[in-house]
Structure 1
Amino acid sequence: MSYNDVILLLGSNINNPENNVKEALLEIEKKVGAIIAKSRVISTKPVEFDSFNIFCNIAIRIKTQFSPFRLLAEIKTIERSMGRLQDSSDLGVYNDRIIDIDIILYNNIRFISRKLVIPHAKNLYERDFAIGIIKQVQ
């Protein structure tokens, strides 16, 4: 069996963000694949929307057997099970969220579809907080 090398970025800014991130990490290990590296946890102000709620963020590197679409489906299932019912891409705007899990890199592929773009350009190249913690797991 072959495994895929993936970097995910997690964030939460409501309902006890640190615990939300910890819970999501446990779910990822149970349902998606082994976590082989973690960045330090950082706190950041919201980006591209206004809120008084501070984000808890972490980047992780995982090994998974899932294809990009299967991985996306599993991540969305985890987000929904934790209480995130609407995705920013569906709403067309960013807002406070109990958990957000983004696929940043998947092996060395470039992939573009309506639902999934790899690499995740905003987090990989434009958002300073993300760039810093992603480098910790690359």
Structure 2
Amino acid sequence: MNRYSVFLLLGANLGEREAMLVKATQLISERIAPVTAQSHLYETAPWGVIDQPAFLNQVIKIETTLSPEEVLAQTLDIEKQLGRERRLRWGARVIDIDMLYFDNVVLETEYLHLPHPRLHQRRFTLVPLAEIAPDFIHPVLHKTNQQLLSECTDESQVSVCE
């Protein structure tokens, strides 16, 4: 059975943000696959809709035998279990789990786009991603995460939490 490296971005900007990221990581480990790497926590400015509280973000890596669709179904279920309500695109949320990469899979369906179509445009994604996987090569852009970060024009504030 094949094992796939999957990078997930966790984010929260409502309620107990850090506790929510810890709980999401725990549920991902239990229901999808153990976490094999995780970045520091980063406090980040909101993106898209800027009139909302700052986010805490973190990138985790898992090694799974599940398919991309199965991972998506599980992450959506975990978001729902943790109280996520989808109201406004890019709006405030108690938890957000985005699949950034699923190994080197390139996939575009109605519900899933891999790699994540905007990851190279967002510092809040690239900073923690480059921390744990600087040399991972984007399967479409053919650049490392570190290169994508150095070329990113997003000037949003991203600060490591001590």
8 Å contact kept, 1:112–1:118: yes
CA distance in 2, matches of 1:5, 1:12: 23
The yes-or-no answer on 1:119 pairing with 2:115 is yes
Aligned twin of 2:9? 9
Alignment of 1:108 with 2:104, yes or no, is yes
Q: After TM superposition, list the pairs within 5 Å mapping 1:58-77 onto structure 2.
A: 58-77=58-77
Shift of 1:137: 2.0
The CA deviation at 1:51 is 2.8
Q: Percent identity?
A: 29
Gaps of 5+ in 2: 134-162
**Residues in 2 aligned to 1:28 and 1:116: alpha-carbon distance in whole angstroms:** 18
Q: Match for 1:113: what amino acid? A: T
1:129 aligned partner: 124
* Paired residues of 1:59 and 1:133 also in contact (CA < 8 A): yes
Aligned match of 1:51: 51
Residue 118 of structure 2: SS of its match in structure 1?
Answer: helix
- Where do 4+ consecutive residues of structure 1 move more than 6 Å? none
8 Å CA contact 1:51, 1:96 repeated in 2: no
Provide TM-score, normalisation by structure 1.
0.92
Q: Secondary structure at the match of 1:136?
A: helix
Kindly indicate whether the alpha-carbon contact (under 8 Å) linking 1:105 and 1:119 is maintained by their aligned counterparts in 2: yes
Secondary structure at the aligned position of 2:110 is classed as coil
Count of aligned residue pairs for this structure pair: 133
